[in-house]
Amino acid sequence: MKLHKKIIVSLFGHKKPCPDFDFRNVRSVLIQPLGTAVGDAVINTAYAAQIKKMYPQAHIGIFVTPRNREILSHCPAVDELVELKWPSFFKHRKKWDLFLDFHEVFTSRELIKNKILSPRATMIFKKKEKPHYHLGNIKNYDFYCPFSPREHVSRHLNTSEFAKHHPVPAPEICFGFAEEEKRQAAPFWQAGGKIKVFVAPQGSVPFKAVEPRDLAALLNKLAPELRPRVQFLLCRTKTAEAFFAALTGLLDADIDIRLSAPTTLQQYIAVTASADLVISVDSGTAHLACAAKRPLLSFYVEHNINTWSPLHRADVPHFMMIAKTGYDQADDEYKSWLFREDFPVQDGADWLNTQLRGLLPDSATNPPPPPPPPGSALIRHLIQNTSERVVNLDKLTYAGNLQSLAAVAGSPRYTFEHADICDRAALERIFAQHQPRAVMHLAAESHVDRSIDSAGEFIQTNIVGTFTLLEAARAYFEKQPENQRAAFRFHHISTDEVYGDLHDSDGLFTETTPYAPSSPYSASKASGDHLVRAWQRTYRLPTLITNCSNNYGPCHFPEKLIPHIILNALSGRPLPIYGDGSQIRDWLYVEDHARALHTVVTHGKTGQTYNIGGHNEKTNLEVVQTVCALLEELAPRKPDGVARYADLITHVPDRPGHDKRYAIDAAKIQRELGWTPQETFDSGIRKTVQWYLENQDWWQNVLNGNYRLQRLGGR
């Protein structure tokens, strides 16, 4: 080691430990962001928001540079912008309770800076190894929080030391736009009432760029009726004029596209926020569009999509045009990633036309449909966050609702097939027509109470149906060429109820827990699991099994506990709780489950089982009381005669064979595949209640069918 490096390590590479740091009482937090680019800064606002939610009274500071200051000044969770300069380090010496250092490497400057700051406690995250500075000789921190390389950068706090002491909120962009800022953008558009589409085909570095030929191919597929009603504004960069000249030479004459005037960063933010839709490469513009809640069409490759994709809201349309060919590390760093034959132009064009039609003034009276139901949350995830084509096979039984499928019905990558998994002929036709590379088997009769009243349908669907689907998949699989057989997967989605009851135990269900189902429903699902394993062992069908805990979230069928309680409370009906309500379940937000399923089918090892849990054990009584408390806050106008929602709680005789406790150990999927839930129960249940309050039309349509807020299984 060089002498000066040794001296720096000796003087600045250590700090006085803080073994008694109290995570329950944090008064001030200083953040060293990860990166300084615009997109980096937008992502870092999620950290500030998470801390502010955990510690509402804490003073939150964040280091800024001229490059990211404007962005971070828009984050309402940040109380103080701290200049990343030497005088500022001395000014802030010993000022902070906790310093969060997201910087990826130890450097001499960083070591000296952190020593000057001398916060009470320091938390660092994953650090890259350097010859002279590394975790072996640098000890200037109190808490080290490594993370999975597959994990999105916004989730670092969710798996940090914080999670041992607090429920860490799911990461969300925290960005404020003032209306007067948006008005600054008006001179840039000159759109004359047209739909405004902001286009950013080039990033801050050359390799983050879409080629003019590809962008022209996309824009030339704009529907004829839309062309006079849409204006495209091309983002100005250092090389924008040459790009614009090349692009316009390839575009149809009736495409209205203009080159933006030069902008300040503040004006650029305003232009992005004022657009009706944004088209952007992997750049700060894409992140700003998500912050502004703008519909976004983005260009990505699979190389970094898992770690740096924008944090978009599930209720805002976002289509990723993903080039499947990954980045070749042997190539020049600045090679264009998107100059490829697999660029999905048609898919992007179909999505763009659909979104623009929805933005026409005459479509304002037709609001977008609500999101699909829990059984379709996976479809929503696949359509919005990947480039996968999805065939949805559904029998549409009593719980089926075509209205809930409307959110994805317009996608060119979505196909609906009305069929029964017990119908072998229909399955063979669907396999032959659509040629899937994976089957994700979620079809099931799923309500325990109904299985007690009528077990036959559960045996037919969950056992016979699984057998029929396995046989159809096997026949299809065996006809495929060798390379396609190697890529094929049959993913069977099951439940934690197959494991039985954890009563009188503080243990958790693992993938090796013996099966001991208690109800007709869980017995039928256990049978399906055994069939899948048998087809793997006997026929070498490449299968995967996941067992999940209790799902909840938007569009859940109203006989399930949480929506049943919400809707009963809103109508002033009794809130029935079986027995004393002490039954414990592990609750998993439906969108977390969807992410996990996609992770397993794409990265899981065939023949394996993965448990998926939310790490949210709650008694049924706690769940109902939480819903009542949220309704007091969010729906204070109660039905006549109701003083408090909690007064409606009614204890009813317990159902037969009712298991006392379920709890999932999800360590395997976290360890091997890098998945962890993003939602705590507190954040997820608030979103769920809010959704039911805002989507009365959806559940009223459900209730107008055969279902009438009845729960079964009382015998």
Determine the residue type at 375. Answer: G
The position carrying tokens 């289509």 is 319
- pLDDT tens across 283-293, in order? 889 999 999 88
pLDDT at 138 over 60: yes
> Rounded distance, CA 473 to CA 537, Å?
15
Q: Is the separation of the CB atoms in 360 and 397 below 8 Å? A: no
Sign of the Cα pseudo-torsion (13, 19, 20, 24, in order): positive
Confidence of residue 469 (pLDDT cuts 50, 70, 90): very high
pLDDT of residue 681: 92
CA 135 to chain centre: 32
Give the separation between CA 510 and CA 236, rounded to whole angstroms: 54
pLDDT-derived band at 466 (thresholds 50, 70, 90) equals very high
Contact 177, 256 (CB under 8 A): no
334 has a pLDDT exceeding 50:
no
The helix or strand, by DSSP H or E, that contains position 394, with its residue range, turns out to be: strand 390-394
**Alpha carbon distances (Å) from 707 to 68, 512, 700, 701:** 53, 38, 10, 10
Question: Averaged over 539-556, what is the pLDDT?
Answer: 91
Residue 555 gets the label, from left (phi > 0), alpha (psi -120 to 50) or beta, of left
CB 294 within 8 A of CB 196: no
| pLDDT attached to residue 341 | 55
Catalytic amino acids?
Answer: 496-497, 521
pLDDT tens digits along 156-169: 888 788 888 878 88
**pLDDT score, position 337:** 41
**Average pLDDT of the chain to the nearest whole number:** 85
Answer whether 258's CB lies under 8 Å from 225's CB: no
CA distances from 529 to 79, 377, 462, 466, 524 (A): 52, 22, 10, 9, 9
Tell whether the model's pLDDT for residue 473 goes beyond 50: yes
- Residue 107 to residue 110: CA distance in whole angstroms: 5
Which one of 87-101, 493-507, 553-567 scores highest in mean pLDDT?
Answer: 87-101
pLDDT tens by residue, 254-263: 999 999 888 8
The tens digit of pLDDT for each residue in 188-208 reads: 887 778 999 999 988 766 667
- Kindly tell me if the per-residue pLDDT of 242 is higher than 50: yes
User: At residue 455, what is the residue type?
Assistant: A
What pLDDT is stored for residue 399 in this prediction? 44
- E-strand stretches of 400-522: 414-418, 438-441, 489-495
Q: Tokens 């060429």 map to which residue?
A: 481
3-state secondary structure string across 173-187: CCCCCCHHHHHCCHH
- 80: enclosing H helix or E strand: strand 80-83
Do the beta carbons of residue 519 and residue 497 sit within 8 Å?
yes
pLDDT tens sequence across 372-416? 343 578 887 888 777 788 998 887 654 444 454 555 666 778 888
Query: What would the two tokens of residue 604 be?
Result: 């899981």
Q: Are 432 and 482 within 8 A, CB to CB?
A: no
The pLDDT value given to residue 715: 33
Cα–chain center distance at 18:
35
Q: Specify the amino acid at residue 23.
A: F
Q: Higher-confidence residue: 574 or 380?
A: 574
Q: Is 711 within 8 Å of 448 (Cβ atoms)?
A: no
- Per the CB < 8 A criterion, the answer to whether 65 and 90 are in contact is no
pLDDT above 90 as % of the chain:
48
* pLDDT for the residue numbered 456: 83
The more confidently predicted of residues 233 and 446 is 233
Spatial CA neighbour of 82 closest among 53, 52, 112, 113: 113
**CA 415 to centroid of chain Cα atoms:** 22
pLDDT of residue 684: 92
Task: Quote the pLDDT of residue 205.
Answer: 67
Q: Where are the alpha helices (DSSP H) in 542-647?
A: 561-570, 590-603, 620-634
Percentage of the residues of the chain whose pLDDT score is greater than 70: 86
At residue 301, the pLDDT reads 64
Per residue in 21-39, pLDDT tens? 999 899 999 999 988 888 8
pLDDT score, position 13: 84
pTM, rounded to two decimals: 0.57
- The stretch 563-588 carries a mean pLDDT of 91
Amino acid letter, 580? D
Question: Would the pLDDT of 128 be above 90?
Answer: no
Beta carbons of 46 and 172 less than 8 angstroms apart: yes
Query: Rounded to whole angstroms, how far apart are CA atoms 347 and 368?
Result: 20
**In angstroms, rounded to a whole number, what is the distance separating the alpha carbons of residues 218 and 76?**
37
> What tokens were used for 498?
């197959």
Report the alpha-carbon distance of residue 351 to residue 280 in Å, rounded. Answer: 14
Q: With a cut of 70, say whether residue 453 has pLDDT above it.
A: no
| 3 state DSSP class of 81 | strand
Q: How far apart are CA 69 and CA 528, in angstroms?
A: 56
pLDDT of residue 475: 96
Burial track 118-142 (b if 16+ CB lie within 10 A, e otherwise) = bbbbbbbbbbeeeeebeeeebebbb
The yes-or-no verdict on residue 709 having pLDDT over 60 is no
The single-letter code of the amino acid at 483 is N
State the angle between helix axes of 696-703 and 681-694 in degrees (0 to 180), rounded to the nearest 10.
70
**Which candidate, 100, 90, 93, places its Cα nearest to that of 62?**
100
